[in-house]
Homo-oligomer: A and B are copies of this chain.
Amino acid sequence: MTILLSVTGFDPDRWRGALQAADPAASIVLAPAHAADESIRYAVVWKQPPGLLSTLPNLRAIFSLGAGVDHILKDGTLPDVPILRIVADDLTNRMSEYVVWRVLDHFRKGAAYRQAQARREWVDWPQPAARDVTVGVMGLGELGRDAARKLAALGFAVTGWSRSGRPVEGLTVHGGEAGLKRFLAETDILVVLLPLTPETAGLIDETLLSGLKRRTPLGGPVLINAGRGGLQDEAAILGALEAGTLMEASLDVFQREPLPDDSPLWRHPAVFVTPHAAALSDPDALAPTVMAQIAAIERGEMPSNRVDRAAGY
């Protein structure tokens, strides 16, 4: 039995080493020796070349090495085998670190204090209490729920929105289109952790941004997108910043990545840009999870983190 590793943008040798370390007996190949390699039963991928997986006659399951599976599903020739999302504390913790960091930096007026320091100006501004600021988390999968819990532990008022509106313990959840308007209207800081699906593509647009609370304790609403760039309309974000319907943004993902050199987001004083680095996949931390799940499938079990292809996540 062979495992195929196909990654783009990740270091393949680093991942092969980590997978091998997690199971020294495993046979791992970086590319199929020839099309229709019959020995390959599992594919472990990040942005695999389209068409590659459909050539493998005995493929049993596909594993994503990062949060999100849109990079897998956009391959139109995908064989009909289970796709497994990666769910691992290491990845979840990293994403929550990013979210809490960005929420706190906007909430505690990081940009204003950095500018005051550059002017050598000893000045402070009124600081609302966390309990008076509502952080709205869009997307309540593993990542969204963990971020919501950690923000609540810091004292923020936290609400959530998901497509289904399924209850989450300890969280006010709004659901579906009907709940979106109310969710946005009470949100001071919007955190987007949605998957990219045909339904969510372009969701962060002028309509959504103009639905955010106007008079917030911070002076205006804040957007934090650590989901996917395809969720956002960057022209609408720039327009909302210009119009004052948005005060500041932290963006880790972009419609085109790397963010083009001529994007006005790079130099916008109210925008903090990171290079899709909110939650980097750590081979040493994630490889054991993948190998354990492959072993489970070999025993005839199916891990719970299977992707719903119709939903797209």
Contacts and interface: CB of A to CB of B under 8 A. Distances in A.
A10 interface: no
Contact of A113 (B130, B150, B274): B274
Interface string A50-67: 000000000000000000
A90 interface: yes
A104 B108 contact: no
Nearest to A275: B122
Contact of A266 (B105, B117, B150, B275): B117
Contact of A275 (B93, B123, B129, B257): B123
Stoichiometry, as copies per complex, reads: 2
A97 B108 contact: yes
Contacts of A90: 129
Number of chain A interface residues as a range: 35 or more
A267 interface: yes
Contact of A130 (B93, B129, B155): B93
Given A101-B104, A153-B150, A127 B93 contact: no
A232 to B, nearest CB: 17
A114 to B, nearest CB: 7
A117 to B, nearest CB: 5
5 contacts: A93-B131, A97-B108, A117-B274, A122-B259, A122-B275
